[in-house]
Amino acid sequence: MMESKYYTPEIEEFHVGFEYEVKSKFNNEWEKWKQSDPSPKSIFYPKEAGDRNPENPFKLIPFEWVLGEGHVRVKVLDRDDIENCGWKFDAINEINNEIFYKMVDESARAKLRIDFKTRLIEISAKDQFGNKFVIFIGMLNNKSELKKLMKQLLI
């Protein structure tokens, strides 16, 4: 299994359903969050220990500050993420460092090819006559982007 890596996202990446982690000021551990606001401008972030009110332990701060301080991270797309989205390992091409997946639901007839070094992804499908055609070529950074693309491609 590939080691999980993380990156700091850009504000433009955030959308409803976007999965990311926020570093807790209480215990310094990473907590999983899912974006619910369509356009984040600020975030409820834990107050300093001396500034904490038991009724409201959070304060509203600009989202850019949290990103700039390295308190938000996103997991880079990996094998587990792809498989959690419904893809099943199919084959590997070690010469080109490519891994192939197919949809668990065979009727979808979709295949995904990824080069984990470049993060270049190709998704292809077959029509009812068995003709293969490419429906996406590009780079995806994380699981949220893959889920969003699958929804757009009706997979």
What are the φ and ψ backbone dihedral angles of 29, each rounded to 5 degrees? -105, 160
Nearest Cα to 113, choosing from 132, 131, 129?
132
Q: Is the pLDDT of residue 2 over 50?
A: no
Q: Rounded distance, CA 65 to CA 84, Å?
A: 32
Q: How far apart are CA 85 and CA 34, in angstroms?
A: 16
**Better-scored residue on pLDDT, 40 or 94:** 94
Q: Which two tokens stand for residue 61?
A: 């701060």
Q: What is the pLDDT of residue 76?
A: 94
CA distances from 126 to 94, 113, 153 (A): 25, 14, 13
pLDDT of residue 136: 96
pLDDT band at 51 (very low <50, low <70, confident <90, very high): low
Q: Say which range, 23-37, 118-132, 133-147, has the weakest mean pLDDT.
A: 23-37
CA separation, residue 34 to residues 12, 18, 74 (Å):
15, 6, 11
pTM (two decimals):
0.76
**CA-to-CA dists, residue 28 to 21, 25, 31, 53, angstroms:** 12, 5, 9, 19
From the centroid of its chain, how far is CA 48? Answer: 30
The percentage of the chain sitting over the pLDDT mark of 70, rounded to a whole number, equals 74
Average pLDDT of the chain is 80
User: Tell me, what DSSP letter sits at residue 31?
Assistant: E
**Side-chain-facing half-sphere of 104: CA atoms under 13 Å:** 7
- When pLDDT is averaged across residues 13-31 and rounded to a whole number, the result is 83
pLDDT at 80 over 50: yes
* Most confident of the following: 51-55, 56-60, 117-121, 135-139: 135-139
Query: In this model, does residue 1 exceed pLDDT 60?
Result: no
**Distance between CA atoms of residues 43 and 64, nearest Å:** 9
pLDDT at 112: 92
pLDDT confidence of residue 152 = 93
Q: Mean pLDDT over residues 86-108, rounded?
A: 80
